[in-house]
Amino acid sequence: MDFKHQPVMLSEAIEYLAANHGRRFIDGTVGAGGHSRLLLERLPECEVLGIDRDSEALQAATANLAQFGRRFQARQGRFAQMQNYAAALGWQRVDGVLLDLGVSSHQIDAPERGFSFRFDGPLDMRMDRSETRTAADLLNTLAESELVDILFRYGEERKARSIAREIVRRRSERPWTNTTELAELLNRVVGRAHQHGLPPATRTFQALRIALNQELEELQAGLQAALALTCPGARIVVISFHSLEDRIVKHFFRTEACSCICPPGVPECRCGKVQTLRVLTGKPLQATEEELALNSRSGCAKLRAAERL
């Protein structure tokens, strides 16, 4: 298997993670292992637990990082399993957690995974292929109103209603199976106007992927797990690829960085809120012009980092 992924904002992420010269790290989205590799090289004493939902990614990371021996351990799973995997290694606390969200180039570029409207393939989109429900199942079984909701919420798609109507009409003739059929419908219904240069299928494919893999719920679980696992001084670094993800990270960091959430005007604090994080990136970092020229995927990346108190 040829598994390719060029890590985004690689040196920036590792600068933040490695700053405290920690010993134990969790890469919650190990992918092909690009970020983990630089961390293992930068801190020769450290160990990394690499987690990914995708067994193909784990195989690639295991092969790519074999030279580090027991310093790198790979486990298949979701963010929600991070604490169990850490505990199984006897790790009560870690010195940093990285979440480099979304899909890898490998997932996008493999037609049989069904993530991209650029290739013909099955409407699959599962990050973890041992799960049973696919994107085709969503299109073939959800109520029209549920499809509208998914397209609005996760794709911010203005034509959600017309798209959902067409999806439901077409499936009464024959079920949805392929990416190109869906892309053709979107080209017709969405068109090129008001797309800011994006292909018409972009928002719907994004929305289906996020819904199917429950990516936003996962992100909340990942941030909570990172908070629970990190020791004082540890770093949490998150790279997001669209505004829905970045909003969740920004809000989580802001809430954890404040020490009182009492309503304004209350004479004395009663909320009992404890500040757990110090935000290190007021504004999120974005890829440099040099990186953008080399890797177009970095164009929408935003990196936020925080330190555990």
Residues in touch with ligand SAM (CB under 6 A): 5, 7, 28-29, 31-35, 51-54, 57, 78-79, 100, 102-104, 127, 218
Cβ 218 to ligand SAM shortest distance, Å: 4
C-alpha 220/C-alpha 222 separation (Å) is: 5
Residue 155 vs 222, nearer CB to ligand SAM: 222
Cβ 18 to ligand SAM shortest distance, Å: 15
Residue 98 vs 136, nearer CB to ligand SAM: 98
DSSP β-ladder status, 72-76 and 94-100:
unpaired
Residue 104 vs 134, nearer CB to ligand SAM: 104
Cβ 182 to ligand SAM shortest distance, Å: 22
Give 158-167 contacts, CB < 8 A, sequence gap 24+: 158/194, 159/189, 159/190, 162/189, 163/189, 163/190, 163/204, 167/139
Contacts of 148 (CB under 8 A, 6+ apart): 160, 161, 164
Start-to-end C-alpha separation, the chain? 42
Count the alpha carbons within 13 Å of 243 in the hemisphere toward its beta carbon. Answer: 5
Cβ 98 to ligand SAM shortest distance, Å: 7
Cβ 9 to ligand SAM shortest distance, Å: 10
Run of H or E residues at 267: none
Q: Which two tokens stand for residue 101?
A: 């969200």
303 bridge partner residues:
239, 285
Residue 43 vs 185, nearer CB to ligand SAM: 43
Q: How far is CA 161 from the centre of its chain?
A: 27
> Position 165: which residue type?
R
Cβ 34 to ligand SAM shortest distance, Å: 3
- Are 99 and 226 within 8 A, CB to CB? yes
Which residue number places its CB atom closest to ligand SAM?
A: 31
Residue 127 vs 147, nearer CB to ligand SAM: 127
Cβ 115 to ligand SAM shortest distance, Å: 10
Contacts of 195 (CB under 8 A, 6+ apart): 202
Residue 53 vs 250, nearer CB to ligand SAM: 53
Residue 104 vs 206, nearer CB to ligand SAM: 104
62 phi/psi in degrees, rounded to 5: -60, -45
Neighbour count for residue 266 (Cβ, 10 Å) = 10
